[in-house]
Structure 1
Amino acid sequence: MSFLVSFVYLVVGVLNGAPGVAVIQVLFIYVLSPLFWFFVIYGALKLYGEVKIARLFSFLAVLCVISVAVFFALFINFGPDSVSMFKENANVNVKEGYSGATMHVYGSLIFITGAFFAASDTIPKRSTRFFILLSLLVCALTSGRSALMLAAPVGLLIFFVISKGFSPKKVFHGFIIIALLSFFLIYIMGVFFERDVLRIISLFLEEMGEGGGGARVGQSLALWDGVAVNSGIGSGHGVGVDYIRSYEFPWRYEVVWLATIYRVGFFGAFIYFLPFLIYFLLFFRRFIKGEVGSVDRFFFGGFLCVFLASTTNPYIEAFSCQWMYILPVVLLFDKLRIGRSERNAIG
């Protein structure tokens, strides 16, 4: 159904003047790339299983953290040319106690941070667990990326609410641990890195209150106007509005879901959203039945964080980030499929 929507609105887009490069991008982003990730993830699941895949993220988290540390060290000491391998036109802002940077790895870190804060118990060794959580928190606070900073509290909320044995006492102990960790982090960041954590958090809250920044607000207003003009039916893929965010690709925007409604209409956007909606409903049904384990919580935590991030970031349209949206859905659907098969065999 999603592919059908893509093909239909690709034709509509061409009729409305979509350029040839947009046609190629849409075919790759909405058809070929999801298929590729589906087969890769499903193959990995059959070879290794979901537990090994979850534990692999411990190694990936450490690699991500190291890459961020190396990026900052090289940029500050040797300039932007030294980090061209990480990102073109890279930038780091470390003025007046603030810290922010542009790195592709931050997209993946949203999933990883949300996943580990939602289910740190997937890491058997406590010292390793503490190191990874603290490192991810430092990466989030020094990134300047609102979606990444939001991933840690969202993940913690999932841990407190969805993990087994939920109780007020558990929540109280959890907040005590978080408070101690926060004071420790503020001290480390202030003394050793000269970063003002409270100012970073204040700027983060200010940006959240402004709806993600002025650029995103401008995009949203222009796209809502476009939706009104096409009566919510859709103007086609590859077609933009008067507000231009990227002169190279003027039909692409950061507020992806609103842009999707403009491109394919409310019904087409619902079809795109349907697999995620089914995933949410099935997950919560399993939660109500008491069938959610730490691995389920791990992938749900990562998924929820990147899904929230997709409202103000184009990660879902990036080949290198689409795995974050497909992986949890495939794992849960396959688990339910196996469960049905076993019940049918017993019956």
Structure 2
Amino acid sequence: MRLFKKIIQIALSVLLLLIICYPAQLQPLKVGLLFLIFALSFLAGIRIFLSTFTFFSLAIIAIYNFSNLFKFSLAGYPFAQFLNLFMATPLIFVIVISIAMRLFSQKSIAKLILWAGIYISIININAILIQSGWIPQNPMTALYTGRIGIHQGYVQIVDYGVYSLFFIFPFAFVMLSRRYLSLFFLIPANLLIVAVLLLTGRRALWLASVMAILVYLIMGLVTVGRTSTSRALFVRNLAGGSLLTLLLSFMAFRNTQTITKISNGLYARLTDAFIDKGSGGSVGIRASQEQVLLTQWLDAPIWGNGIAVPARLLRSQEFTSAYEAFYHALLYQLGLFGFILYAVPTLVVLFGLIWTIFRRDGNAYYIACGMGLLSILIGSYSNPYLGTFDALWMLFIPVMAFNQMNLDRRANQLEAGAESG
């Protein structure tokens, strides 16, 4: 059994790294690893424990999704493709992450996520340096599956792996802020991740990351003074924020014109998908999707138009019901009832995790998972990041962290009751 568990640990580590670093790629290898993990876990007798909240939330959502898919399959719409994404994938992630949390400590999982961030950063920085002509082709090039666009004033990375930074950057920031792991590991990891984050050219990634960090810092201010640890944390954050402010002020003083150009360029990139495109009055692609999806949602406001049913405006011929306006698409497809079924448990998980910051013994891993979840939820407003198999790790790592938190809390309550009895 010990050998089985060791093999499972290795397979889990490889699988999670592939899911995080190579989304939508190497799928046959991932499927093979899944079968190996499930088979050996069954033989090793590894049990899955779900809290009452997690079990009933997932069960109700699964029943509603199946009913939605079955109903519209009778009208001739595809069934299998969506059954995989809306039914099988959540079940797979629940089992895989549950097994991981049984065999790994929270620190081990945190290290795995950060190592994935380091890997993504290194191969992308290497690709940028090659594309810029600063270094020659090297063996690391074979590991890179994206492409680099070097434009006037900015670099744009087109690589599925960088989407994982929605979760990884806030997660890494909290890890560093709370010194959850060794600083010799956390400092270079954060520097690499920040570097590639700035180079991605991804508007949603920038906004989501900044907003998640701001929420974390604001919530951290509320806890100042409760313990010596919170005071030290406040001092570190204040020092870091002051240093960043001085650096930006110095840059602005030295080169105001350049800063202005950069700011104008960032503003244009952050808004050009949402606002009118000049005198012709053409609306940004996301804004037009929102209009169509909201208009057609009113045709079936309670139960939805169907998960597999595309709206009048198509984003992709291969996946006809996927839209950048992700939440509008969910509302259109699932209706108000289905949207609430998704929203309520997700918000409970989100607030349950980030609210641990107010506890004296606040668990840094849970707080980091909460901030990572907040970031990807913000980012998903303008892109269907959570509409693929691989990207759902950013949802289910926090879900299963919250599940474990509830299980631990219940166990402590039972233990306290037994002692008092």
TM-score between both structures, scaled by the size of structure 2: 0.70
Q: CA deviation at 1:206?
A: 3.4
Q: Quick one: higher RCO (CA 8 Å, sep 6+), 1 or 2?
A: 1
Shift in Å, 1:128: 4.0
CA-based RMSD of the aligned residues comes to: 3.0
Q: In the alignment, what sits opposite 2:191?
A: 134
Partner of 1:321: helix, strand, or coil?
helix
Segment of structure 1 superposing worse, 236-245 or 225-234 = 225-234
Conserved? CA contact 1:50–1:331, under 8 Å = no
State yes or no: 1:33 paired with 2:89.
yes
Structure-2 change in CA distance of 1:281 and 1:135 (3 Å): closer
| 1:209 CA displacement | 4.1
1:212-253: CA deviation from partner (whole Å, max 9, x where unpaired): 572111111110111122234311111111111112222211
Moved more, 285-294 or 229-238: 285-294
Partner of 1:326 in structure 2? 396
Shift of 1:170: 6.2
CA-CA distance at 1:329 after TM superposition: 1.6
Separation in structure 2 between the aligned mates of residue 13 and residue 198 of structure 1, nearest angstrom: 52
Could you report, residue by residue, the CA deviation over 1:31-55 in whole angstroms, capped at 9, with x for unpaired residues? 1111111111111111112122113
* 1:122-157 Cα deviation digits (max 9, x unpaired): 454445433222222221221111122124423432
Partner residue in 2 for 1:193? none
Paired with 1:101 and 1:185, the residues of 2 have a C-alpha distance of 25
Matched, 1:175 2:241: yes
Query: Which of the residues 73, 90, 93 maps onto 1:14?
Result: 73
- C-alpha distance in 1 between matches for 2:260 and 2:174: 23
TM-score normalised per structure 1: 0.84
The worse-fitting range, judged by mean Cα deviation, of 164-173 and 117-126 is: 164-173
Q: Which residue of 1 aligns with 2:153?
A: 97
Which moves more between the two structures, 214-223 or 68-77? 68-77
Rounded to whole Å, the distance in 1 between the matches of 2:206 and 2:118 is 18
Give the number of the structure whose alpha-carbon radius of gyration is greater: 2
1:4 aligns with 2:66: no
Asked if the contact 2:385/2:391 (under 8 Å) is kept, the reply is yes
* Equivalent position of 2:213 in the other structure: 156
Rounded to whole Å, the distance in 2 between the matches of 1:128 and 1:185 is: 29
Aligned: 1:237 with 2:307: yes
Superposition pairs of residues 1-347 of structure 1, within 5 angstroms: 1-18=60-77, 20=78, 23-75=79-131, 86-87=144-145, 90-120=146-176, 121-122=178-179, 124-163=181-220, 164-165=223-224, 172-180=238-246, 199=261, 201-209=263-271, 212=274, 214-283=284-353, 285-347=355-417
What CA distance in whole angstroms lies between the structure 2 residues aligned with 1:49 and 1:275? Answer: 25
Distance 1:212 1:38, change over 3 A: farther
CA distance in 1 between partners of 2:318 and 2:107 (Å): 41
Percent same amino acid among aligned pairs?
21
In the aligned structure 2, how far is the partner of 1:62 from the partner of 1:185?
28
CA contact (8 A) 2:180 2:364 kept: no
SS at match of 1:54: helix
Question: Unmatched 5+ residue regions in structure 1?
Answer: 191-195
Pairs aligned (count): 332
